[in-house]
């Protein structure tokens, strides 16, 4: 597993605003979108390209274009991952979008799969998993193996925050033969007894969609 933690003043600034419990849902959604776009820049660093020659108004330029076949696959983990989709697609508009519904039993912390809409065959395709919070790591480990079993060649998880215990779990549970990377804006040390990241930013799904006590 390869881990990238973004180190940039814009990321630090926006992440601090995101953590603030007084940030309204409308601003929270926009901050998520902006942070994901910044993460996407790093996450897509190794996308394959093909040389392309184009005519400019005054000459000829030799450049590169992204290979569109096979198309990258963007997979938000429902529901909070949906809030990250616009930010990712802003940089990768040619990607195909699939959906994976995984949730955590808050009592046992076991992972429950309740929905999926993905191609049966992902052979040779690079997949980007979107989920704001990498907490216990259970959901992400399940998702990574799910995509790998369908043939995904490379899997990159894009998360806003990660907890150290979750990252340690991924190191143990994700098979070493899987080409897997994680890109995050920040890493917190702890999880509470309910599996929430501390200090974290609360329940990302509730804050995205205005369901806040």
Q: Encoding tokens for residue 9?
A: 């003043």
Which distant-in-sequence residues (6+ apart) come within 8 Å of 107 by Cβ?
A: none
Whether 158 has a binding-site annotation, put simply, is no
Whether 110 has a binding-site annotation, put simply, is no
Give residue 97's pLDDT: 96
Whether 134 has a binding-site annotation, put simply, is yes
Is the predicted pLDDT of residue 213 greater than 60, yes or no?
no
Q: Which residues are catalytic?
A: 104, 108, 203, 206
Whether 169 has a binding-site annotation, put simply, is no
Confidence of residue 113 (pLDDT cuts 50, 70, 90): confident
CA 128 to chain centre: 6
Number of CB atoms found within 10 A of residue 5's CB: 14
The whole-chain average pLDDT of the chain stands at 93
Give residue 110's pLDDT: 74
**CB distance 93 to 122 below 8 Å:** no
Domains of the chain with bracketed CATH: 2-46+71-209 (3.40.50.2020)
Provide the b/e sequence for 74-105 (b: ≥16 CB within 10 Å).
bbbbbebbebbbebbbeebeebbbbbbebbbe
Q: Mind listing the pLDDT tens digit for each residue in 74-108? A: 999 988 899 999 999 999 999 999 999 987 677 77
Residue 57 bridge partners (DSSP) = none
């Amino acid at each position: 597993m390869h881990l990238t933690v973004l180190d940039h003043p814009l990321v630090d600034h926006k992440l601090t605003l995101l953590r603030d419990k007084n940030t309204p849902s409308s601003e929270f959604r926009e901050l998520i979108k902006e942070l994901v776009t910044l993460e996407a820049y790093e996450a897509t660093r190794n996308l394959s390209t093909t040389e392309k020659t184009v005519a400019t108004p005054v000459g000829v330029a030799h450049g590169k274009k992204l290979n569109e076949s096979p198309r990258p696959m963007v997979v938000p983990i429902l529901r909070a991952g949906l809030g990250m989709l616009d930010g990712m697609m802003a940089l990768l508009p040619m990607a195909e979008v699939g959906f994976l519904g995984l949730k955590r039993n808050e009592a046992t912390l076991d992972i429950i799969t309740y929905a999926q809409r993905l191609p049966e065959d992902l052979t040779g395709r690079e997949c980007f998993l979107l989920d704001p919070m990498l907490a216990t790591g259970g959901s992400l480990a399940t998702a990574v193996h799910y995509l790998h079993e369908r043939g995904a060649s490379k899997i990159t998880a894009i998360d806003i925050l990660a907890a150290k215990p979750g990252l340690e779990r991924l190191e143990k549970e994700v098979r070493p033969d899987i080409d897997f990377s994680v890109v995050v804006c920040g890493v917190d040390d702890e999880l509470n007894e309910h599996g929430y990241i501390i200090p974290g930013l609360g329940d990302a799904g509730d804050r995205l969609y205005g369901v806040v006590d």
